[in-house]
């Protein structure tokens, strides 16, 4: 038996992690704590919501009284912490919201975990989910390794870097067992259509412009979300205390090349003439502080824990496109009035 708190489980990556743990470990009690911001959606977990080992707790990780009461009641053995504000463009508009949830919220959880177990952390674990963006930007060559210096450039990455430091500090100062993983860009089903791939899928469906920032020559490493969830399961069970593991897809793409590939796939799926979606590409004003290139060296998790991505980018993208096309209701539900006003502000 284990009582595990997963934060942010109604979001994109969190929902895949919750599903994997609930289905794979019927003897674990999985509690999903999520405040259901614009990015959180219980529709993502419809298929497992009635499982006996799953519970949903609605609440804000910034609310220390609430978080402490939940820890007092459930005495979680482990925390897998994914709740966060996660979109770079939103962090440029409202940096403080990112400090609140990503820094203060993480601190609230760390304190609640520390106060629950005091000095007896036997078989306990605080697993913090982070991003490769904390390392800043690479030039045309090189890869991020676990010891690359932190050099965040956006309010989002600065808030995630700060939270990573606090997790480490609690490990050193209070002896709290922890692991941190820093992952590259995820894609797949259930991603909110503000991030590049689902935004562009939605725009192609609706014949809207595809706003490529700058010249499109920015590079990201892409990982299929279910492979990230598998990596999290592995690190949770086999990762070494106080270690960081980088997770990546061994899969670098320039934005413009990725967008063209996506356009070709969408043309095929929608039965449109080859080249139709590419005509929607529009180069727009660049994102301020736009990181040129992220690329992960994931050889530590590969060599020490035996993890590798299970699908190729072609396969993952195909699954993703098909999922969005056959889940139009999900897509239409999340494109609410709030999404429309975000879109207007960001792109017009």
Question: Between residues 32 and 320, which has the closer beta carbon with respect to ligand TYD?
Answer: 320
Taking CB under 6 A as the binding criterion, the range among 23-31, 35-43, 45-53, 314-322 that sits at the site for ligand NAD is 35-43
Give the one residue of 4, 30, 31, 62 binding ligand NAD; rule: CB under 6 A. 62
Q: To which residue do tokens 């913090």 refer?
A: 128
CA–CA gap between residue 278 and residue 149 (Å, rounded): 38
Based on the residue annotation, tell me whether 132 is a catalytic residue of this protein: yes
Closest separation in Å from C-beta 20 to ligand NAD: 14
Give the one residue of 61, 129, 212, 317 binding ligand TYD; rule: CB under 6 A. 212
Closest separation in Å from C-beta 88 to ligand TYD: 4
Residue 199 partner contact from ligand NAD, ligand TYD, none using kind-dependent CB cut-offs of 5 to 8 Å: ligand TYD
Would strands 252-254 and 219-224 be described as parallel, antiparallel, or unpaired? antiparallel
Question: Between residues 16 and 195, which has the closer beta carbon with respect to ligand TYD?
Answer: 195
Closest separation in Å from C-beta 212 to ligand NAD: 18
> Can residue 40 be called a binding residue for ligand NAD (CB under 6 A)?
yes
What angle is formed at CA 221 by the lines to CA 291 and CA 256, rounded to 5 degrees? 70
Closest separation in Å from C-beta 248 to ligand NAD: 10
Binding mask 318-347 for ligand NAD (x = CB under 6 A): ------------------------------
Q: Shortest CA distance to 132 belongs to which of 187, 89, 184?
A: 184
Closest separation in Å from C-beta 170 to ligand NAD: 17
Residue 143 partner contact from ligand NAD, ligand TYD, none using kind-dependent CB cut-offs of 5 to 8 Å: none
The residues, ordered by sequence, that sit 6+ positions from 279 with a Cβ below 8 Å of its Cβ are none
Taking CB under 6 A as the binding criterion, the range among 145-153, 183-191, 204-212, 231-239 that sits at the site for ligand NAD is 183-191
Relative orientation angle of helices 106-117 and 64-74, to the nearest 10 degrees = 40
Q: To which residue do tokens 């220390």 refer?
A: 64
Active site residue: 29, 34, 85, 132, which one?
Answer: 132
Based on the residue annotation, tell me whether 245 is a catalytic residue of this protein: no
- Do 219 and 294 meet the contact criterion of CB atoms below 8 Å apart? yes
3-state DSSP call for residue 62?
Answer: coil
Question: Between residues 117 and 224, which has the closer beta carbon with respect to ligand NAD?
Answer: 224
> Can residue 183 be called a binding residue for ligand TYD (CB under 6 A)?
no
Taking CB under 6 A as the binding criterion, the range among 64-72, 107-115, 182-190, 283-291 that sits at the site for ligand NAD is 182-190
Nearest residue to ligand NAD, using CB? 11
Closest separation in Å from C-beta 308 to ligand TYD: 22
Q: Footprint of ligand TYD on residues 154-173 (CB under 6 A)? A: none
Q: Footprint of ligand TYD on residues 71-110 (CB under 6 A)? A: 88
Please spell the DSSP secondary structure of 265-334, one letter per residue.
Answer: HHHHHHTPPTTTTGGGEEEEPPPTT---B--B--HHHHHHH----SS-HHHHHHHHHHHHHH-HHHHHHH
> Can residue 105 be called a binding residue for ligand NAD (CB under 6 A)?
yes
Closest separation in Å from C-beta 27 to ligand NAD: 26
3-state DSSP call for residue 232?
Answer: helix
Give the ranges where the chain is alpha helix by DSSP (H). Answer: 12-24, 64-74, 88-93, 95-98, 106-117, 155-174, 196-205, 225-238, 255-270, 299-305, 313-326, 328-334, 337-347
> Can residue 339 be called a binding residue for ligand TYD (CB under 6 A)?
no
Backbone angles phi, psi at 245, to 5 degrees: -125, 130
- Do 7 and 80 meet the contact criterion of CB atoms below 8 Å apart? yes
Question: Between residues 121 and 187, which has the closer beta carbon with respect to ligand NAD?
Answer: 187
Q: Shortest CA distance to 34 belongs to which of 17, 55, 53, 9?
A: 9
Start-to-end CA distance of the chain, whole Å, equals 52
Which residues are part of the catalytic machinery?
132-133, 156
């Amino acid at each position: 038996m284990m009582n595990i708190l997963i934060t942010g489980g109604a979001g994109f990556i969190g929902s895949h992690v919750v599903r994997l743990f609930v289905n794979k470990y019927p003897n674990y009690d999985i509690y999903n704590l999520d405040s259901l911001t614009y990015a959180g959606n219980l529709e993502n977990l419809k298929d497992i919501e009635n499982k006996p080992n799953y519970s949903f707790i609605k609440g804000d990780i910034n609310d220390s009284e609430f978080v402490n009461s939940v820890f007092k009641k459930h005495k979680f053995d482990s925390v897998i912490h994914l709740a966060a504000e996660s979109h770079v463009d939103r962090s440029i508009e409202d940096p403080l919201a990112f400090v609140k949830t990503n820094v203060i919220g993480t601190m609230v959880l760390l304190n609640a975990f520390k106060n629950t177990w005091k000095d007896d952390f036997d078989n306990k674990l605080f697993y913090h989910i982070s991003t490769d963006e904390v390392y800043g930007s690479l030039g045309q060559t090189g890869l991020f390794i676990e010891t690359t210096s932190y050099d965040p450039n956006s309010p989002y990455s600065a808030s995630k870097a700060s939270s990573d430091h606090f997790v480490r500090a609690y490990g050193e100062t209070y002896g709290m067992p922890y692991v941190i993983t820093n992952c590259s860009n995820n894609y797949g089903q259930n991603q909110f259509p503000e991030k590049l791939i689902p935004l562009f899928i939605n725009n192609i469906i609706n014949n809207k412009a595809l706003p490529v920032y700058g010249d499109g020559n920015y590079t990201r490493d892409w990982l299929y979300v279910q492979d990230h969830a598998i990596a999290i399961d592995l690190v949770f069970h086999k990762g070494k205390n106080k270690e960081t593991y980088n997770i990546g897809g061994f899969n670098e793409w320039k934005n413009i090349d990725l967008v063209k590939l996506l356009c070709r796939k969408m043309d095929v799926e929608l039965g449109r003439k080859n080249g139709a979606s590419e005509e929607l590409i529009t180069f727009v004003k660049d994102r301020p502080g736009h990181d040129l290139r992220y690329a992960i060296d994931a050889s530590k998790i590969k060599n020490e824990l035996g993890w590798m991505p299970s699908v190729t980018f072609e396969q993952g993208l195909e699954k993703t496109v098909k999922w969005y096309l056959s889940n139009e209701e999900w897509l239409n539900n999340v494109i609410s009035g709030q999404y429309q006003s975000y879109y207007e502000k960001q792109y017009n």
